[in-house]
Structure 1
Amino acid sequence: MGYPEDALARDEELLLHRHPHWKMLFVPALTFILSTAVAGFLVGVVLNQEGTTRTVLLGLVVVVWVAVVAWRCIPPLLRWRSTHFIVTDRRVLIRHGVLTHTGIDIPMNRISSVQFRHGLFDRMLGTGTLIIGSASEDPLEYDDIPQVQQVHSLLYHQVFDADDHRENQ
């Protein structure tokens, strides 16, 4: 069993599992493409050199390229990959972190409101901010939720159905 199924209770049903929207990977991808293009150009220039100068310059280009990719591209990808937004029939789980993991669980019966917000650009990309209000705390905001309107609707129906179920008992 893989994540997030291993984080669920035995009879808990997984309804939704999402990572943040891919838009948070746009700048790292652009950085990777541009740094690779510049490195390729510099390798072409360096290949015209002779002897040890060529070897040293090639090594320098490779080291700088690896440093840029390791600094500007890999961490955002790891952050994206290690951030999970999960909805089950009982709760909402948010997990994030690479080295230090952070998580929050919000039981469905504690949710008092569900809202979403997205501007024009977010609407074009199909993403937005989900705002979950609980009875005892300030609302929690989660940015870059893919298909935020569908997630909002799912949560609303889960909370509404849970309220109906409690009233009928």
Structure 2
Amino acid sequence: MKLSPKLLGKDEYVILHVRTHLKALFPNIAGSVVVIVAAVLGAVFAPEDWRPVSTFVILAVALVVLVFVFVWPWLNWLFATYTITNRRLITRKGVLTKTGHDLPLSRISDVSYEHGFTDRIFGCGTLILQTSADDPLPLPDIPHVEKVHVMLTELLFSDAGGSEL
């Protein structure tokens, strides 16, 4: 979900608002296909004398499993966002219990990224932010991670270039 303008400070504006790449849901999509195929096969090959009760039981079990395998992870994906403003990085996640983390841009000392083979195929990667006080903060499955890296680097270090000796 988009970040509410009520959560922004005075003279603060959103530069980028993203959620993780849909690639994060691929295992859940594959699991859902397995559940659906198993339910159809179970309904088709159930003994004739068990029907129609077996069909309803199989359907009910498949729906419950689909909620845990796909619907809940999809809702978590939908409600997890990264927002970069001109002042901070804002992370939000959670469906029932919301959690958030705000990192002032002034605390970020280094920005890097990495993307493996599958990340390159899907056009995403992990953005890694280094602060002076904490361990690196990895933000996984960021779409177009190279562009986000360049944009964040320019935002953070654009004034640093003029102070060289």
| TM-score calculated relative to the size of structure 1 | 0.85
Q: Distance in 2 between matches of 1:140 and 1:162?
A: 23
1:9 corresponds to 2:9: yes
Identical columns (%): 33
Paired position in structure 1 for 2:58: 61
| TM-score calculated relative to the size of structure 2 | 0.87
The answer to whether the 8 Å contact 2:3/2:83 transfers is no
Q: Distance in 1 between matches of 2:6 and 2:81?
A: 13
Please give the secondary structure, in 2, of the residue aligned with 1:153. helix
Q: Distance in 2 between matches of 1:85 and 1:103?
A: 10
Q: For 1:2-151, what aligned pairs fall within 5 Å after superposition?
A: 3-46=3-46, 49-50=48-49, 53-151=50-148
Counterpart of 2:24 in structure 1: which amino acid? M
Instruction: Quote how far apart the aligned CAs of 1:164 are.
Output: 6.6
Q: Distance in 2 between matches of 1:137 and 1:32?
A: 38
C-alpha offsets along residues 128-164 of structure 1, whole Å, 9 cap, x if unaligned? 1111112222221111111111111111011013557
Q: Distance in 2 between matches of 1:13 and 1:129?
A: 24
CA RMSD of the aligned region, Å? 2.1
Counterpart of 1:39 in structure 2: which amino acid? A
Instruction: Quote how far apart the aligned CAs of 1:61 are.
Output: 0.7
Please give the secondary structure, in 2, of the residue aligned with 1:31. helix
Instruction: Quote how far apart the aligned CAs of 1:59 are.
Output: 1.6
5+ residue gaps in structure 2?
A: none
The answer to whether the 8 Å contact 1:108/1:162 transfers is no
5+ residue gaps in structure 1?
A: none
Aligned positions, number: 162
Q: Distance in 2 between matches of 1:41 and 1:119?
A: 37
Counterpart of 1:57 in structure 2: which amino acid? S
Counterpart of 1:9 in structure 2: which amino acid? G
Name which of structure 1's ranges 34-43 and 120-129 shifts more when overlaid on structure 2. 34-43
Q: Distance in 1 between matches of 2:102 and 2:3?
A: 15
Paired position in structure 1 for 2:154: 157
C-alpha offsets along residues 3-29 of structure 1, whole Å, 9 cap, x if unaligned? 343322242111111111111111111
Counterpart of 2:48 in structure 1: which amino acid? Q
Please give the secondary structure, in 2, of the residue aligned with 1:154. helix
